[in-house]
Amino acid sequence: MAKKKVFKSKSLQAAYDRYIGDDSEQKEAFEQALADYDVARKIYDLRTKAGLSQRKLAQRIGTTASVICQLEDADYQGHSLSMLRRIASVLNKRVEIRFVSIKRKAQPA
């Protein structure tokens, strides 16, 4: 049996249970949205910690501020590995990718 998502916030838990529940498609969409948010937030955090504006980061990697704005948008789904590497490089970071196990319900035979 798949592990149920648990939140610290009772309100968030109630919303998740109501709108996601046991719907596997909704769960997958939710997990993808969380992943997109995590990438966007990481770019924002690294940029601001480095004291760079979107425009300054864009100049350093050879793109426009609007592209950086898009990359920092939690709804954006087009993060490319090459762009993440360009950003990491100018911030003296490197990109690491991990593949982790997910638990899914056993499919009936």
Domain boundaries, the chain: 10-90
pLDDT tens digit string along 54-83?
A: 999 999 999 999 999 999 999 999 999 999
Q: Count Cβ atoms below 10 Å from residue 40 Cβ, excluding itself.
A: 19
User: Highest mean pLDDT range out of 14-18, 34-38, 80-84?
Assistant: 80-84
Global pTM reads 0.78
At the fourth CATH level, the homologous superfamily of domain 10-90 is: lambda repressor-like DNA-binding domains (1.10.260.40)
